[in-house]
Amino acid sequence: MDSVLTVVIIAVVVLAAGALLFMYQRKRSGELQQRFGPEYEHTIEESGDRRSAERELRERERRVAKLDITPLSRESAEQYRAEWARVQQSFVDQPAAAVADADQLALRMMREAGYPVDEFDQRVNDISVDHPEVAAHYRDAHRVAVAQARGETDTEELRQAVTAYRYLVDALLADSGDASADRGDAEHRSHSTDAKEQA
């Protein structure tokens, strides 16, 4: 009787441990899926296995946590904002050059922010930790930039690439707290002054 009870208790403990482990894994999967969004699904498609994909995403988190990622200074953010505006304006007359310039601008911004930039796949994996919504756009944009260097793109693809680079540029500027807040405050003060003068 005692041995039967012992077996039952062991079975219950094993089942409970299994259930807890399953619940923990599901919770962790849910957290990764929420954090990485579409990048979570992309990684699963790339690896072909959910467990491998989740291991890869956790490894990205650990790697980026060890990097010295720092927001761009406000001065740098303003300079990059002005340069990005020039890139967009140049697209009308020189779309291919605009894509190449956008690619280099993104690279310089990432380097200054502290992301290692030696290898593209690692760059996009690193940026996906802080900006998962940007990763797919960056991949698309870079693919077009590489194809453009070989003369294998059309104007519409180039336009889409510049638009895709914008997601990364905007994300890095937003990290800096850029100068939009200051500019917004200045504009608000200006409008307030105008309103007082009119009153």
- How does pLDDT run across 151-170, given as a tens digit for each residue? 899 999 999 999 999 999 99
- How does pLDDT run across 60-70, given as a tens digit for each residue? 999 999 999 99
- How does pLDDT run across 24-73, given as a tens digit for each residue? 556 576 788 888 989 999 999 998 888 999 999 999 999 999 999 999 99
DSSP state of 92: T
pTM: 0.73
C-alpha–C-alpha distance, residues 6 and 8, integer Å: 5
The count of other CB atoms within 10 Å of the CB of residue 176 is 22
**pLDDT for position 26:** 61
C-alpha–C-alpha distance, residues 197 and 102, integer Å: 43
Rama region for 131: left / alpha / beta (φ>0; ψ in -120 to 50; rest) = beta
154: amino acid identity, one letter: D
